[in-house]
Structure 1
Amino acid sequence: MPVHAKAAICRGNSEPFAIEEVTLDDLRPDELRVRIVACGVCHTDMAVRDQQVPVPLPAVLGHEGAGIVEEVGAGVTAAKPGDRVILSFNSCGDCPSCDIDAPTYCYNFFPHNWSGARTDGSATLMLNGEKLNANFFGQSSFATYAIAHERNTVRVPDTAADIPLERLSPLGCGLMTGAGAVLRSMKVRAGLPIAVFGAGTVGMAAIMAAKIAGADPIIAVDVNDERLAMAMELGATHIFNGKDDAAAKIRDLCPAGLGYAFDTTGINKVIEDAWGLLAPMGVCGIVGASNPEDNLTFNEAAFMGGGRRVMGILGGDSDLESFLPKLIDYHLKGQFPFEKLIGYFEFNQINDAIAASENGSVIKPVLRMSAET
């Protein structure tokens, strides 16, 4: 029997997301059907809506899904029916990056995540009998049901049985990216200073991870004073408003320079200023989605002579199978209190959730699709 779902369809930024009935395709051997309980709203979803990311529209987006497995293909070992799972990005498993457990840099990332279909071109969702662009990040979780894959599905450990899936769902992208950037990509060392530019979901996750890593001082820079206050609550030792010459204040605080600068803004002037604050061998990590036409300018002598580094980061260099359970463990220990960032919305309030994200009133909106039990 065909499986039907309600899905939020994105047709671009000229009209709101519309919830309509879709039909799921039959599962392939490496696929799972997941009843979505909740899904986080991420900036990347809005970047696709605005066609800054070349995913074909109309499409079902959503890539921070969490839910209950209902059916699995014959080759699936990641989870079984009844398991609670978190969904994240997909990867091929066969390229040079995947071979070294670096799937965020999968050579085949685009066809597995952004093509709007499976890699063979077949559709995972149908609308009125016609192919609908989906399989976004291997899931398309702005829906009541999603088809996921062996490589982008992580079973929630039994230790987290009491944590609701609606809280865990944002781990699949933004929180993972910020924490992974600190703990896995830049490998922040205890006792060295870090400045995080941008106090959204990714920046806040980085601040919490910097506290776990033992960085000192931990500096948050943003133009929103309420977010800066939250950053202080989550682990920042110093907060500077970006409108008030934050760079000068960081130089005064860290005259030897920063060990690490982490940019989540995607603004080239902010990145260049951050790079100029680095100590010898300092690392500037970049995750912000910049305009594709933007370029960065660094002084070559300072770049080479001081051994300074600029690092592009995707997904926090995360290996899903090991890192997502690690983040859950930090959360259970009270070291990663990301629940303070979340604001919940019912699925039919998806456009309100997106507006709250864009106007800054909610740091991490999460949509509730169904009850967990």
Structure 2
Amino acid sequence: MKISAAVARDFNAPLSIEEVELDEIRDDEILVRLVATGVCHTDAAVIEGLMGTELPVVLGHEGAGVVEKVGSAVTKVAPGDHVVMTVDSCGHCPACMEHDITYCHNFFPMNFVAQRPDGTRGISKDGERIGSMFFGQSSYATHSVCHEANCVKVTKDVELEKLGPLGCGIQTGAGTVMNALAVKPGKSIVIFGAGGVGLAGVMGAVVQGATTIIVVDMVDSRLELAKELGATHTFNAKTDDVSEEIMKLTGYGVNYAFDTTGNAKVIRQAVELLAPRGTCAIVGASSPEAELVLNETHFMSGGRRMMGVVEGEANPDVFIPTMIALWQQGRFPFDKLITFFPFEEINEAFAASARGEAIKPVLRFS
């Protein structure tokens, strides 16, 4: 079928909206008509050439839409169902067998290679094959193909156009705090970076009952939003002596630290702010070659811990409905992070995100 898609053809260049051909779905595949899809920094990293994904490719991995057709082997959803698409997984590796799908042993090929496991690509134009199945969906298009493993059915009484970011960015931030760190009531946490992931972490910390929620960023408007969402203290890294202020506030340091910046110096600072037996979670790296340097004595002697986290260690079939329920209860206002753009303005959405003007851009399809 003919669809409209945003194609990345050159690194560090705008995406082009093109009419392309989408192959007929296979027995284990699901065709989804997109209602909206989020814009995530991971897509920008691919465009910058940092993730190894070959071009041309259709990116996008926070899609929400309506199922139009299912293959003969699909039982999880049916035509007409509302779904959120999320990270893909193989279903048969040791991690998947233990339901730790965000640590699928085949995570990179399933999500970043942008082709089926058999090497085929499901999108073409004039005989040219274009990368598809990015994160098992390639949702920068009017229609997307996904699988049961990365398709989460949601109820029809919620605004579908807002739900796409729950599949990655919001899931990563909230899940890191609620699942991976499992922040305990009454404890303290510092979150570095007040973008979509970090602010989702703020909301997760509120839900968990943390009583000291510190946010560090360099944009005052984002720090103000962090306060609105439940941060108890905020510091601007440009003007405040962050480490001194946090140690003054907490005395011994924080129980938890959460870095969303991928900056090695910031990560070291986050670890140095941990109280004894504190834990730091990191969710990003500035490049595949990025390395960390820590003070061994400080890290070891305080029983401190560091953990890498993917997709908030979430089981999307459980965690996405949980976030929706919390939102409906008024306890998880993730929609305050969203700025809508028409799909045709995808490049402006990326630009607004890079400028810090849009925390979580979401593209709407007409």
- Name the structure 1 match of 2:53: 55
Amino acid in the other structure paired with 2:113: S
Structure 2 counterpart SS, 1:367 = strand
The secondary structure found in structure 1 opposite 2:307 is strand
Name the SS for the 1:260 alignment partner.
strand
Alpha-carbon shift at residue 361 of structure 1 (Å): 0.4
Q: Secondary structure at the match of 1:329?
A: helix
Q: Deviations over 1:71-129 (max 9, x none)?
A: 00111122110001000110001111111111111001122111121010011111222
2: distance between equivalents of 1:150 and 1:342?
A: 27
Q: Cα deviation per residue 1:115-150 (whole Å; 9 max; x = unaligned)? A: 121010011111222211111000000000011111
Between the aligned partners of 1:95 and 1:185, the Cα distance in structure 2 is 21
How big is each residue's C-alpha offset from its partner over 1:254-308, in whole Å with a ceiling of 9 and x where there is no partner?
Answer: 1121100000011111110110011111000001232233221112222222211
Q: 2-side partners of 1:12 and 1:327: how far apart? A: 36
- 1:168 corresponds in structure 2 to 163
Contact 2:13-2:47 at 8 Å conserved across structures: no
SS of residue matched to 1:334: coil
Letter of the 2:64 counterpart: A
Q: Which structure 2 residues correspond to residues 212-227 of structure 1 after superposition, within 5 A?
A: 212-227=207-222
Aligned counterpart, 2:250:
254
Contact 1:262 1:285 in 2 (8 A): yes
Give the aligned partner of residue 84 of structure 2.
86
Equivalent residue number for residue 71 of structure 1: 69
Report the secondary structure of 1:229's partner residue: helix
CA drift at 1:15? 2.7
- Tell me which residue corresponds to 2:259: 263
How far apart, CA to CA, are the structure 2 residues paired with 1:109 and 1:225?
36
- Structure 2's unaligned 5+ residue stretches are none
126-135 or 226-235, which moves further after superposition? 126-135
Separation in 1, partners of 2:311, 2:236: 26
Residues paired across the two proteins, number: 365
Aligned match of 1:142 in 129, 140, 143?
140
From 278, 299, 303, the counterpart of 2:299: 303
Cα separation, 2, equivalents of 1:7 and 1:128: 14
Q: Deviations over 1:198-249 (max 9, x none)?
A: 0000000000000000112000100000000000000100011112111111
Give the distance between the partners of 2:307 and 2:294, measured in 1 at CA. 13
- Using the TM superposition, give the Cα deviation of residue 14 of structure 1 relative to its aligned residue in structure 2, in angstroms: 4.1
Is the Cα–Cα contact under 8 Å of residues 63 and 140 in structure 1 kept in the other structure? yes
Deviates more, 1:172-181 or 1:161-170: 161-170
Displacement of 1:173? 0.4
Separation (CA, whole Å) in 2 of partners of 1:75 and 1:326: 27
Q: Letter of the aligned partner of 2:37 in structure 1?
A: C
**Which blocks of at least 5 consecutive residues in structure 1 are unaligned?**
none
Shift of 1:16: 1.2
Task: Tell me, yes or no, if the aligned pair for 2:114 and 2:135 is still in contact at 8 Å.
Answer: no
Q: Deviations over 1:303-351 (max 9, x none)?
A: 2222110100110001111111111111111111011111101011011
Q: Does 1:198 align with 2:196?
A: no
RMSD across aligned C-alpha pairs, in angstroms?
1.0
Given that 1:117 and 1:124 are in contact with CA atoms closer than 8 Å, whether structure 2 keeps it comes out as: yes
Q: Distance in 1 between matches of 2:164 and 2:302?
A: 41
Q: Is the CA contact (8 Å cut-off) linking 1:263 and 1:285 kept in structure 2?
A: yes
Which aligned pairs between 1:343-362 and structure 2 lie closer than 5 A? Answer: 343-362=339-358
Q: Which amino acid aligns with 1:166?
A: E
